[in-house]
Each structure stands twice: as structure tokens, then as C-alpha cells.
Structure 1
Amino acid sequence: MEGIDPEVPPSGPGCADCTTADPPSWWFHLRRCGQCGHIGCCDSSPNQHASAHHAATGHRFVRSFEPGEEWFWDYAEQVLHEQGPPLAAPVHRPLEQGAPAPADRVPADWKRQLHR
């Protein structure tokens, strides 16, 4: 798939933008940019950093960075692809991380803060 670099590793174990925000924020689920490996939070998350990354860079594809999920989303065509090329490890967030995360930043009313 053009626009996916399978050799680029993920930028880290969590949303790069939530982690560097001031103050740091939290996320629900994670998405990995297929072109540069940037990890951003999903559109249900309060900050929607994966979509913001696409808007800023034009990088077309994201893959779920959740355990057991291998699908890709194509922002350009607004199409879900059940499978795509294998990507460099790791292919999902750390299992012990959980969702939402990081645990010490998740507010008690986190479910009310999700975008639907």
C-alpha cells in the first residue's frame, strides 16, 4: 500500500502528543501512522491526535495500535482495510498499559469525556 512504510517503528508506547502536552493528557485507544510511526490517540479520545496528525501531515493511513487489532484506516478514502502489510515491532501498545491510559492521568469521569 503506497503511503505505508513497514520498516518505521512506532514513536513510542503511547500518544506522543498527549505525553508532551502541558499538562500531559490521557487517551482511550491508540493509532499508529503507517508512514512515519507517529502514535496518536483515537477519535474517541478527548484530543483526537491521530486525526490531527493526518490533517497536519497528509499521511493517509493509520493502523490500530491496540492488542489483537490489525486494521488500517484510510483517511483519504474514508475506508477501513481489515488487513495491510506487516509493520515493524512493536505492533501494539504494552499489554500492561491498559486503556484508557496512562492510569495516573485518567480522570474519574473519563467515559463522559469520550467523543462518540
Structure 2
Amino acid sequence: MQGIDPAAAPSGTGCADCEALDPPGWWFHLRRCAQCGHIGCCDSSPNQHASGHAAASGHRFIRSFEPGEAWFYDYGEQVMYESGPELAAPEHHPIEQGAPGPAGRVPQDWVSHLHQ
């Protein structure tokens, strides 16, 4: 499918953009760009890096990077798909990482920082 590269490996185990902040940020859930493998935080997260990556790059498709989730989303058509092509491993962040994460960076009042 155009816009999805099954061979593109994930950029890491956490949101690449949150990790690059000074000080580093935190996220609620993670999303993986299905075209280049960029890992970004979801739209409920304070920084919404996954949708920002899609807008800046033109990469339309993301896949959940959460354990037990295999759905895809098309930002261009605003359509969710229950499944899609198999992508390069790993399929999700480390299970011990948890959500929100990463541990040690999530504020105690994290719920008040989420976008609805």
C-alpha cells in the first residue's frame, strides 16, 4: 500500500520528539509512522507529536505502538483500520515501559495535562 513501508524499523521505544526536548517530555500512548517508523506521542498526549509528524512529513498512516494493539489510522482520510500489513519488529514499546511513560517523567497530575 502506498504510504506504508513494512520494512521501516521503529525510531526507538519512546516518542522521538519528547526524548529530544530539554528537559525530555512524557507521553500517554505511542504511535508509529507506518511509512518511516517515527515514534510519536498520541493526540491525547501533551505534545501530540505523532500528528505533528504526519502534518510536517505528509506521512498519512500510523499504527498503534502499544502492546496488544494492531490498528492503523489514516490522517489523510481520517479513517481507522482494525489491522493492516505486518511491520518490522518490534511491534510495540517494551511492556515494562507502561503508559503513561516513561516512569520518572510523568507528573502526578498527568490526567489534567491530557487533550480530550
Shorter-chain TM range is over 0.9
Q: Give the corresponding residue for 1:55.
A: 55
Letter in 1 for 2:11: S
Letter in 1 for 2:109: D
State TM-score, norm by structure 2: 0.99
The whole-number CA distance in structure 2 between the counterparts of 1:89 and 1:101 is 21
CA deviation profile, 1:24-62 (whole Å, cap 9, x unmatched): 100000000000000000000000000000010000100
Letter in 2 for 1:74: D
Mapping of residues 1-116 of structure 1, within 5 Å: 1-116=1-116
The whole-number CA distance in structure 1 between the counterparts of 2:60 and 2:112 is 30
Gapped runs of 5+ residues in structure 1? none
Aligned partner of residue 63 in structure 1, secondary structure: strand
CA deviation profile, 1:82-112 (whole Å, cap 9, x unmatched): 1100000000010000000011100000011
The RMSD of aligned alpha carbons is 0.5
The whole-number CA distance in structure 1 between the counterparts of 2:22 and 2:38 is 19
Task: Quote how far apart the aligned CAs of 1:22 are.
Answer: 1.2
Kindly report structure 1 stretches of 4+ aligned residues shifted beyond 6 Å.
none
Aligned partner of residue 53 in structure 1, secondary structure: helix
The whole-number CA distance in structure 1 between the counterparts of 2:79 and 2:17 is 25
Letter in 2 for 1:25: G
State TM-score, norm by structure 1: 0.99
Identity fraction in percent: 73
Letter in 1 for 2:33: C
The whole-number CA distance in structure 2 between the counterparts of 1:10 and 1:92 is 9
